[in-house]
Amino acid sequence: MNGTGEIGMFSRVALLRSWKEIRPYFIFSIILFFAGTVAGGSPNAASGWLEAQLNGISVIAETAAKSDNPRLALFLLIAFNNVIKAIIVMCVGIFGGILPVIMLVANGMIMGYLLVDQSERGYNMFLIIVKGILPHGILELPAIFLACAFGIRFGLTFARGIGRSAIGKERPWQPFVNTAAGSVPALVFVTGTLIAAALIESTFTFWLMK
C-alpha cells in the first residue's frame, strides 16, 4: 500500500516524514504558549477575562464533585473537553491557522495568570508546578502543541494551495495532502495521550493537590 494508505500513514518512514514537516510548527506552538504564559503573568494582563476563564474551569471541578463518582466524572469531563478541543483545533486550523494560535496564547495566559495569582496568595509556585501541573502536563501539553501544530500547518498549506493553484504551479496541493495524511496518526496519538493525561489528572494529580 502506498504512503497515502492506512498502513502507509502509520509506517515508520511516513511518521518520520510527517514529524519533519510538522516540527517547526510544533516548536512555534511551544513558543506561542509560553509567550502567552509570560503575558498572562504580567501586571497588565486582562485580569477580568482571565478570571472568567478560571471560573469556567472551576465549574468542571464543581460538576464532577457533585456526581456519585467524582473521580470518574472528573476524568470523563477532562478527557472529553481536551479531546474535542484538540480535534476542533486541528480541523478548524484550515481557516488560516488562526484558532490554534488563539488557543495557544489564551491557554498560556491562563496558566501564567493562575501561577502568579497562587503565588500572590502565598502558595509555593514550585510545588504547584511539580504537583499540580507536571504529572499530567508532561503528556497533555505536548499533545496540545502537536494538535495546534497540525492546525497551523493545515491553514498555511491550504492558503498556499489556493495561491499555487492560481498561478498554475505543479502539484499545488501536495503539502496540504501530506499534512492531512500525517494528521491521521497524529490524531490517534493526541487522543490517546490526552486520555492518559486526563486519567493522571483525575487520580494522581487530584491526590497530590488534595
Distances (CA, A) of 88 to 97, 130, 185: 12, 29, 16
The residue range of the domain holding 153 is 12-209
- 66-72 contacts: CB < 8 A, separation 24 or more? 71/202, 71/203, 71/206, 72/202
In a domain, 148, yes or no: yes
Residue at 58 is within a domain: yes
Examine residue 3 and state whether it is found in any structural domain, yes or no: no
Mean pLDDT, consecutive 10-residue segments, the chain of 210 residues? 55 90 97 96 86 84 83 91 94 89 95 90 87 93 97 95 88 91 95 96 82
| Per-residue pLDDT at 7 | 54
Alpha carbons within 13 A on the beta-carbon side of 4: 7
- Domain assignment present for residue 6? The answer is no
Asked if the structure places residue 138 within a domain, the reply is yes
What is the pLDDT at residue 9?
A: 77
**Cβ atoms of residues 162 and 191 within 8 Å:** no
**Cα end-to-end distance, the chain, whole Å:** 51
In a domain, 41, yes or no: yes
Rounded Cα gap, residues 27 and 22, in angstroms: 9
pLDDT of residue 70: 83
The Cα–Cα gap between 139 and 202 comes to: 14
Task: Give the model's pLDDT for residue 3.
Answer: 42
Within 10 A of 126 (CB to CB), how many other CB atoms are there? 9
Confidence (pLDDT) at 210 = 66
In a domain? residue 7: no
CB 136 within 8 A of CB 201: yes
How many structural domains is the chain composed of?
1
The residue to which cell 464532577 is assigned: 64
Backbone φ and ψ of 66, nearest 5°: -85, -5
- Residue 2 included in any domain: no
Q: What is the pLDDT of residue 162?
A: 93
